[in-house]
Structure 1
Amino acid sequence: MNKTDRLLAILLELQRKDILRAEDLAAIFETSVRTIYRDIQALSESGVPIVGAPGIGYSLMEGYFLPPVSFTAEEAVALLIGTDFVEQKFDTDYGMKAQASRRKIEAILPESVRREVSQVRTTIRLLAEGKGTNHTEKAYLEILRIAVLDKRKVRFGYSKKMPEADGNRQSVRVVAPYGLVLLHGSWVLIGQCELRQQLRHFRLSRMNDLIMLEDSYQLPVDFNLQDYKQVDDRHINVHLKARSDIIDKLKEANHFYMESIEEREDGIHVFLRVRHPEELLSWILGWGADVVVLEPESLRERVRTEVEKMLKCY
């Protein structure tokens, strides 16, 4: 990045955030603190009202606003594809805002850039994964988004794929929602569950009768959604062997729990890690005789039992 581009980028960062230290800017632009000092001086000398406080950082004087900036064709394409994604995967309100943003971006582009953007976009199309986000999930997403911002608890019925310790799959949860994550094309709520008294994950697709409560909550000071990592409690290893001619299909399937695929002389060996082996039962049966369970023995026996039940149906 040359100096001119960096100066503009620093100005945009200062406009976007209330205050930034020289060390923060140096990390963002991968340069030295000394260079940032010189850049700040250059911006000040050019008339940009930058306020600096020792030990605190730099900020723009209140009321200063950078005039609209121009986009390259590549930047415009990136933004427009982003609006396509938001329209497909977010709730209705944000979908409408995405449409409005797309029209505004297209309206301010110079004619030459607009033509180039149009040409590029004819070669790129964003399709939602699978069936996409359905109407119910989008409605729930909007409720949860508001609940997260307003710090209000929610209540909903929840259907688990595997039974809990008490043997039940269905339960009613009251949750303090901390954030929303789009994981493998599915929206997931992360929040403190009152029933389990711990931080839990809930797929929106398994919720029903979602309502926002009047009860408020305080977000823990040490919780940051961007830094949050789920505790990995998948402690059971599963070893499968598959026919060599379906390796491409296995790779395309890209199962969430898949750890690795190895090509060996006797076939393709697939390694997965799960909480409950039964979570893979339907997936394994879907491959028919092309996939065989090697370990654990309990899963081999479970597959045998299920196949015997299927044979009785025929």
Structure 2
Amino acid sequence: MNDHYLKKLDRVTAILTQLQSKPVVRAQDLAKKFEVSVRTIYRDVKTLENAGIPIIGEAGSGYSLMDGYKLPPVMFTKEEVLSFITAEKLMQKFLHESLGQHYRNAMEKVRSVLKYSDKNLIENIEKQIDVFNYHPKTEDKIRNIIPIILESIAEKKQLTLEYETVDARVSTRTIEVVGVFFEFNYWYIMAFCTLRNDFRQFRVDRILKIFKTQNPFLQEYGQINDYRQAPNGNKTRVRLLVEKRIIGHLVNSKKYYGLVEEIEREDGYELIFETEWITEGFPRWLVTFADYAEVLEPEFLKDSLRDLIKNILKKY
């Protein structure tokens, strides 16, 4: 069997896996995924149909498997099995506790369809992989909180929650969740708040009570990154000149505080930000490396930094 037919066999098998895992699969998406023409995908689908796979749909719309059709368990390659083991170690450290048992149950099902030799591979290698996390896990007050949030997104139903702010005040909010994300060791909700009539972020571990209502969403929302990359609010342009020896320590945090451009100069890196946290968050972050940085603009940020340092000195 030559290389052309081996590639086709791999691709046709992968297309069948896509049909098993998604309700509808478009030929254009498959062509992009496998880096072939749409016409090639049409021929691959015809190959599956000729093999007796009941595929519903046609060119230009999308394909799906006939409802109720069952396929034998998917077999995994050795490389895929090793990737499962590594991913499982990561998930054990960073997965939200309300999803932990569900993930473990899913992994047991995956293990159950492995060949005997692959099960031995897992047993021999899984103790040789570990992920070290130096941040303590946050403790949530509500069991199964993430599944409740995800269900509300899928069903497009509003949530009512009691939320404790950073200054220990408790407020009741009705929200429409756009999505959830993990950042700096905390899980967050990005949602439209009906009280504020605007988009807000809520830290999951600060939710005291949560209820899924039967009220539908008032509007349609895009992807969560659309809101995280371009949140509402007044932004301030900030320019810093940072010494090259410290830039490697700011890899993640500079993006969090609104980095939009980074320019290498002879005397350092010019970092340009658009930030909403100019009054509190940004100056407090800047003070952690202020001896390696110079504020180019705005001028009032220098005053905020001086005031913050003065207040620190008073305590020490």
With the shorter chain as reference, the TM-score category is 0.7 to 0.9
Q: Report the 3-state secondary structure (helix = DSSP H, G, I; strand = E; otherwise coil) of the residue aligned with 1:131.
A: coil
1:211 maps to 210
Q: Does the aligned pair in 1 maintain the 2:140–2:204 contact within 8 Å? A: no
Length-normalised TM-score, structure 2: 0.78
Q: Where in structure 1 are there 5+ consecutive unaligned residues?
A: 162-167
Letter paired with 1:144: I
> Which stretch shows the higher mean deviation, 303-312 or 61-70?
303-312
2:221 maps to 223
Aligned equivalents of 1:135, 1:106: Cα separation in 2: 30
Q: Does the aligned pair in 2 maintain the 1:88–1:133 contact within 8 Å? A: no
Aligned equivalents of 2:250, 2:178: Cα separation in 1: 35
1:99 maps to 104
Q: Report the 3-state secondary structure (helix = DSSP H, G, I; strand = E; otherwise coil) of the residue aligned with 2:256.
A: coil
Deviations 1:28-72 (A, max 9, x none): 433223222222222222222223457644332332211112112
Deviations 1:211-257 (A, max 9, x none): 2153422363x434367444245632223344454343344755512
Aligned equivalents of 2:79, 2:308: Cα separation in 1: 53
2:307 maps to 305
Aligned equivalents of 2:226, 2:312: Cα separation in 1: 43
Length-normalised TM-score, structure 1: 0.79
Aligned equivalents of 2:253, 2:290: Cα separation in 1: 15
Aligned equivalents of 2:103, 2:136: Cα separation in 1: 20
Q: Where in structure 2 are there 5+ consecutive unaligned residues?
A: 1-5
Q: 1:286 aligns with which of 282, 285, 288?
A: 288
Aligned equivalents of 2:76, 2:213: Cα separation in 1: 44
Aligned equivalents of 2:265, 2:36: Cα separation in 1: 47
What count of residue pairs does the alignment treat as equivalent? 306
1:75 maps to 80
Q: What is the percentage of aligned positions where both structures have the same residue?
A: 29
Deviations 1:279-310 (A, max 9, x none): 21222222353434332111101111222233
Aligned equivalents of 1:52, 1:249: Cα separation in 2: 52
Q: In the TM superposition, what are the counterparts of 1:178-189 in structure 2 within 5 Å?
A: 178-183=178-183, 185-189=185-189
Deviations 1:260-297 (A, max 9, x none): 55554445544333113232122222235343433211
Q: In the TM superposition, what are the counterparts of 1:233-248 in structure 2 within 5 Å?
A: 235-248=235-248
Q: Does the aligned pair in 2 maintain the 1:73–1:114 contact within 8 Å? A: no
Is the alpha carbon distance of 1:129 and 1:262 closer, same or farther for their aligned partners in structure 2, counting shifts above 3 Å? farther
The answer on 1:3 being equivalent to 2:8 is yes
1:164 maps to none
Q: Does the aligned pair in 2 maintain the 1:181–1:188 contact within 8 Å? A: yes
2:3 maps to none
Q: Does the aligned pair in 1 maintain the 2:89–2:129 contact within 8 Å? A: no
Is the alpha carbon distance of 1:283 and 1:138 closer, same or farther for their aligned partners in structure 2, counting shifts above 3 Å? farther
Q: Report the 3-state secondary structure (helix = DSSP H, G, I; strand = E; otherwise coil) of the residue aligned with 1:195.
A: coil
Deviations 1:107-137 (A, max 9, x none): 4433443454556545543345733443348
Q: Tell me the C-alpha RMSD between the 2 structures.
A: 3.5
